Amino acid sequence: MRNKNQILKILIDIIAPSLFLGGTLALSLAAPKSVIAFKSVLSFINKNYKGKREMRPSELKKIFMKMKREQLVDYKEFSNGDVEIKILKKGIKKVLINNFDKIQFKIPKKWNKKFYVIIFDIPNSYKKQRDLFVNKLKELNFYQLQKSVYVFLYPPQEIIDFLASILNIAPYIRILEASRIENEKEILSYFNVKI
């Protein structure tokens, strides 16, 4: 049987394709509600996520009920066979964390002559979240000034707020804006910016 994370990802693919996995920041954590035919969901799952055998309707219903108990989705079944599914904030966060490597951001092309310093002190109890956060900063080409200090040439507030919200680490991160910074030439060279 497929696990609930796979099913939740499928639901987001079906119900809310505009949510943005792989797109730019256009995510509303107030998830949409959608009424869809149960058979369509089951058919889509069996077609796109092939296993050793097809999933039975009773298995999918059990997964929906389990996800509802865990407050990942709100699920209601109608007598005509349709289901109403609302993907809840906790469910969207879970899918985004499971697909963290696919999250992309639109980065401005023009430098506004400001340096943005991201400082964080994320406790060891959040090690997994800290690792995801640091890896995403590196992937987005943030310049590492020190172990927990990164520099970016473009306003990072939206990116940092979004990542901190998903990972529940907002209290441990600060952003500073500076017009000058030590090692300025090295940082500008890193970003291929000529002055």
115-190: what fold?
A: Alpha-Beta Plaits (3.30.70)
Task: For the chain, give every domain's residue range.
Answer: 4-102, 115-190
Q: Is the pLDDT of residue 133 over 90?
A: yes
Helical residues (DSSP H) of the chain, grouped into ranges = 4-15, 38-48, 57-69, 89-98, 127-139, 157-167, 184-190
Q: Is the pLDDT of residue 92 over 90?
A: no
Q: For the residues of 85-117, what is the DSSP string, one character each?
A: EEE-HHHHHHHHHHTGGG------SS--S-EEE
Over the stretch 4-47, which tens digit does the pLDDT of each residue have?
Answer: 666 666 665 554 443 333 332 233 333 444 455 667 777 777 77
pLDDT for 21 equals 34
Poorest-confidence range of 48-52, 85-89, 149-153, 171-175?
48-52
Name the token pair of 86.
Answer: 């609302």
- Mean pLDDT for 176-189 is 93
Pick the CATH number of 4-102 from 1.10.10.10, 3.90.230.10, 3.30.2310.20, 3.50.50.60: 1.10.10.10
